[in-house]
Structures are given as C-alpha cells and as structure tokens.
C-alpha cells in the first residue's frame, strides 16, 4: 500500500489544490473528511497529516474538529490557516478573533532556521485568508516566522513534528510554497517519491487484470478525455476483453464518428463497436423544443441503444467509466454549506443497476491533469487529451428549439469552421469551450445583390476553470472577423454571425 499524505478537509476552497501540490512532488495524497478517526487513518498507511483551512472558526461552538487522537499517532501534522488554529486550540494555545483580517498578499519574515522553512528566503510574499489569529502558543511550540499582523505566522513543535502555517502555501501567489511542502514531505515525513504516472499505470494494469479475470468489460466511449484514457488503460491491461461502444446519436460534430473510429481502431487496435443510432434519436426528438425534454429523451434512448448493443457480447461483468477523483471525494457539510455534501458517485442514469454490472473506474484516484499525463504516457494524441468538453446531448442543445437533420447540418459546418480557426490560432487550447449555436430566428441580409432571409449563428467562446463560473473570451478582432466571414461565405443558410458576450452567472455556458 502506498504511503499517503492525508489531507483532512475542513471545507477550504484550496483542499484539492493541497493534494495536487503534494502529488506534483511525486508523493501520493488523499483527501479525507475532517471527521475521520485516528484509527482509520492508521489503516490507510498515512505518513503525514495536513489539516486544511476552512470557513469556520475554532471560537464557534460547532466548529469542525478532528479526532484529537491524531496527535498521539507519532505522525507529523501540518496545519494550514484554520488547521494551524485547530492545532493551537486543541493543544491548549489560544486563538482570538482579530481586528485586522488578513486577506491576500502579506510579507512573511522568517526569524528562525527550521526543517519546514529550509531554503526559504528570509522575506517572502505569502497569501492569507483568515480572520482569527493565534495569540498564545501551545506548550512545546515556538514561532518561526511573523507577518505584520501576527507573531505566530509559522509555528512548530519540532520534538513532536507538529507544524502550523497561517498562510496558504498551496496557492501560486505564495512564493516558494512548493518548497515548504517539499520540506514537510521529505525532511519531516520522510516520504519517498513513488507517485508517478508510469508507476500508476503499472499497478493499475495489474489491479485490473486481477479484478477482471477472464470476464468481459464494456465501456461507453464518448471520445472525450476521461473515457478515452480509461479505455486506453483498460485495453493495456486486458486487450480484447474490453469492448468500447461508441454511440452515434446523430448529434455529433462534423466527421466525429469517423475520427473516433479511425483513432481507436487503427491506432490502438481496440475492440470498438460503433453504433449508428442517429435515426432512432432524431425520430424521438422530432418536434421537441424543450431542452430538458430533449435531455431526458437522449438519456433514455442512449440506455436502450447501449443495452441493445452489448447483448451479443459474452460474459460481460463490468461497466468501465472514466470517473475522476474530484467526483468521489467525500466530504461532510461545514457551517451548513450544502455544496460540500457527499457527492453522488456514479452518474450513469441507473445503467449499472439495471444491467447488474460491476463498476470499473480506473481513474477514480486521479485529478484531470493527471489523467492527461496518464493518457500521454499511453500514447493518446494531443487532440484527445486537450479536447474541449462536449455535452452528452451534443448538438441538440445547440440547435435552439426543435432539432432537424437540416439544422444540424448547418450548425455542424459553422461549428467546424469555428473550431478550425480556433485550433489554427491556438486559442482552442487557451479557452474552456468554443462552439457555435444555431438560433431559431431568421435575419435579412444581402449577398451578391440579392436579398437573403437566412439563419443566425451565435459564437459561444468562454474561459473557465471548472465550468461553475465562466466569462466570454476576449479574442483578437481579426480572428473573430475571419470566423464570421468564413461562416457566412462557406455555410449555405447562414447570413449573420453574433458573438455571445454573457458571463456565467447569470448566463450558462450552453444556450439550452
């Protein structure tokens, strides 16, 4: 079992970033709900514990507290922000609410040499975000660094290996933050660098072989990053015992089916079953204008088609999915914050239950960028690894109102021009999503001295880091001009192109 750095989550917006920073140092790190017991942690082969920051205050009666026994395990503990205050509070120091809230950049002055701050400059800029402050050190602790507002910005009890940082070393605004983590990992916890994608491939391939045995695995391949990397990894482990199903629902982009087919069949010799169910989907969508009804129909037909397409495959026992780590991290509500409730683990519309299949999720320990690194090691091309997200209901929610083959064809051409120009200019890889939307309005135009009365296309190009919030991307005018000119000149049936300049919120990324 890999030695793990446990990050106890007290609701900080940076908890996942802490785990990422540690993994970047080639050390495995896992996030646990703050309420995990010391006994459970021992079973997890933990070699260091990090208490994350969080929105609460130790001065509140219902403040989230860890199991106090963690301080008796003989394992190093590092508290960050709220985590530092927890250490102080639980080990009989004193925390008080401060008149001066420290938010954003602060200058940290290092006053004493230590293992934790080894190699750190005497004066660095750090990122703070706290209201309370430590006013009396617990017994056995000493201060290592100060800020204008706090004499105890970094503290340690070197004998017991307990450390606290009032600032956030995981954010990029903190200078030498990674060095501080490295000191904790290698000088204090004595971690080994054994977390790498090649080691992960080796152990996961072995694990998949043991779990699957001689049975068969099916996987719904969408062509997106997660399902593609999951497919490549499972294929490496069990070869032809994996069958991938790619459903063409008639709502894909230009040449998408052929591209996917060529990539996986030719380059990976992967067992790929391409099901052309376009007609079935389009018949069911005929005349449907409401976006939520479109989604429900597509979800239902997808399950029917998928079930149907695996009937002929023998000994199917597993359904593989590209579920990622952020979808499986369990947390407990903090300060009544509902967004941190336990997340539902499987988002497959009831598929496995009905089909009595066991789930195989080989990416469930990985963050998105680790999945990309893994895919790259497995030889997947850049176009797959850096593909922008594409919604399951496909172009049906980008043809506003009812969907027809004719409208889809117009949208496909316009969309492919937009993507082509985005890729040529490299902006495709800089934005979160860029796509065209076909509007249900006609506009008057003039082309070659003739009056036209044709369709309008909107361009939706957004920047985002997680799709929760987004802003429209400010692209060079000549690029926008080129896209607009090409769409109007090359796509019959379009005489006007508009640019969507709404942010999310209040808008959403998709139009429907």
- Is residue 237 within 8 Å of 386, Cβ to Cβ? no
Q: Residue 150 or 434: which CB sits closer to ligand XMP? A: 434
- Residue 81 annotated among the catalytic residues of the structure: yes
Compute φ and ψ for 340, nearest 5 degrees. -100, 20
Name the minimum Å distance from CB 389 to ligand XMP. 4
> Active-site residue among 47, 102, 130, 170?
170
Q: Residue 278 or 503: which CB sits closer to ligand XMP? A: 503
Give the SS3 label for residue 225.
helix
Q: Residue 239 or 389: which CB sits closer to ligand XMP? A: 389
107 C-beta neighbours (distance < 10 Å), count: 12
Compute φ and ψ for 467, nearest 5 degrees. 70, -5
> Active-site residue among 47, 81, 189, 191?
81
- Is residue 399 within 8 Å of 291, Cβ to Cβ? no
What are the beta bridge partners of residue 296?
A: none
Name the minimum Å distance from CB 473 to ligand XMP. 14
Strand order across the beta sheet in which 316-320 lies: 272-276, 242-248, 216-220, 316-320, 358-360
- CA–CA distance from 209 to each of 40, 164, 204 (Å)? 28, 43, 8
Which among 256, 248, 512, 265 has a CA at the least distance from the CA of 401? 512
Q: Residue 337 or 508: which CB sits closer to ligand XMP? A: 508
> Active-site residue among 130, 168, 216, 235?
168
- Is residue 445 within 8 Å of 454, Cβ to Cβ? yes
Name the minimum Å distance from CB 71 to ligand XMP. 42
- Residue 465 annotated among the catalytic residues of the structure: no
- What does the alpha-carbon distance between residue 379 and residue 377 come to, in Å, rounded to a whole number? 5
The β-bridge relationship of strands 150-157 and 162-165 is antiparallel
Q: Residue 37 or 508: which CB sits closer to ligand XMP? A: 508
Give the SS3 label for residue 305.
helix
- What does the alpha-carbon distance between residue 257 and residue 279 come to, in Å, rounded to a whole number? 15
- Is residue 1 within 8 Å of 42, Cβ to Cβ? no
Q: Residue 12 or 433: which CB sits closer to ligand XMP? A: 433
Name the minimum Å distance from CB 463 to ligand XMP. 12
Which among 11, 144, 166 has a CA at the least distance from the CA of 85? 166
Cis peptide before 506 (omega within 30 of 0): yes
Name the minimum Å distance from CB 484 to ligand XMP. 22
- Residue 202 annotated among the catalytic residues of the structure: no
Name the minimum Å distance from CB 368 to ligand XMP. 13
Burial class (CB in 10 A: 0-12, 13-18, 19+), 143: middle
Q: Residue 103 or 386: which CB sits closer to ligand XMP? A: 386
What are the beta bridge partners of residue 98?
A: none
Write down the number of H helices and E strands in the chain: 15, 18
Name the minimum Å distance from CB 391 to ligand XMP. 3
Dmax (CA) of the chain: 87
List residues binding ligand XMP (CB under 6 A): 295, 389, 391-393, 433, 467, 504, 508-510
Q: Residue 334 or 509: which CB sits closer to ligand XMP? A: 509
Name the minimum Å distance from CB 506 to ligand XMP. 11
- What does the alpha-carbon distance between residue 161 and residue 3 come to, in Å, rounded to a whole number? 18
Active site (catalytic) residues: 81, 168, 170
């Amino acid at each position: 079992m890999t030695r793990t750095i446990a990050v106890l989550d007290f609701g900080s917006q940076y908890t996942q970033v802490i785990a990422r920073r540690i993994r970047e140092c080639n050390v495995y790190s896992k996030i646990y709900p703050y309420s995990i017991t010391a006994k459970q942690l021992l079973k997890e082969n933990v070699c260091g514990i990090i208490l994350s920051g969080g929105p609460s205050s130790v001065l509140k009666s219902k403040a989230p507290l860890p199991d106090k026994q963690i301080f008796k395990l003989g394992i190093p503990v590092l508290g960050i922000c709220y985590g530092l205050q927890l250490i102080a509070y639980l080990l009989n120091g004193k925390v008080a609410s401060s008149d001066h809230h420290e938010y954003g950049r602060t200058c940290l002055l290092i006053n004493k040499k230590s293992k934790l701050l080894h190699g750190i400059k005497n004066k660095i800029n750090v990122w703070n975000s706290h209201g309370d402050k430590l006013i009396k050190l617990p017994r056995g602790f000493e201060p290592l660094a100060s800020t204008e507002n706090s004499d105890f910005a970094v503290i340690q009890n070197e004998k017991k290996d307990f450390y606290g940082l009032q600032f956030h070393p995981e954010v990029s605004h903190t200078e030498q933050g990674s060095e501080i983590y490295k000191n904790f990992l290698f000088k204090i916890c004595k971690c080994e660098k054994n977390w790498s994608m090649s080691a992960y491939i080796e152990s996961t391939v072995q694990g998949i072989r043991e779990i699957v045995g001689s049975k068969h695995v099916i996987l719904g391949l969408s062509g997106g990053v997660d399902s593609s990397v999951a497919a490549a990894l499972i294929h490496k482990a069990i070869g032809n015992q994996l069958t991938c199903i790619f459903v063409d629902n008639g709502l894909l982009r230009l040449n998408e089916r052929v591209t996917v087919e060529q990539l996986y069949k030719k380059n990976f010799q992967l067992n790929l079953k391409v099901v052309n169910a376009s007609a079935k989907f389009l018949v069911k969508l005929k005349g449907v204008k409401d976006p939520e009804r479109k989604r429900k129909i597509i979800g239902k037909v997808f399950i029917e088609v998928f079930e149907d397409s695996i009937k002929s495959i023998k000994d199917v026992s597993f359904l593989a999915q590209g579920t990622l780590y952020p979808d499986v991290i369990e947390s407990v509500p903090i300060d009544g914050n509902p967004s941190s409730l336990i997340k539902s683990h499987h988002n497959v519309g009831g598929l496995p239950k009905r089909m009595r299949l066991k789930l195989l999720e080989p990416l469930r320990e990985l963050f998105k960028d680790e999945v990309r690194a893994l895919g790259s090691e497995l030889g997947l091309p850049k176009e797959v690894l850096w593909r922008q997200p594409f919604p399951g209901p496909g172009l049906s929610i980008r043809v506003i109102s009812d969907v027809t083959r004719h409208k889809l064809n117009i949208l496909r051409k316009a969309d492919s021009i937009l993507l082509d120009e985005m890729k040529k200019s490299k902006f495709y890889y800089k934005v979160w999503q860029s796509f065209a939307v076909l509007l249900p309005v006609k506009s008057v135009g003039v082309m070659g001295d003739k009056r036209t009365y044709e369709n309008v296309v909107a361009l939706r190009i957004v920047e985002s880091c997680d799709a929760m919030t987004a802003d429209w991307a400010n692209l060079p005018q000549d690029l926008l001009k080129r896209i607009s000119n090409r769409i109007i000149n090359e796509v019959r049936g379009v005489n006007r192109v508009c640019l969507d300049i709404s942010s999310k919120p209040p808008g959403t990324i998709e139009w429907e």
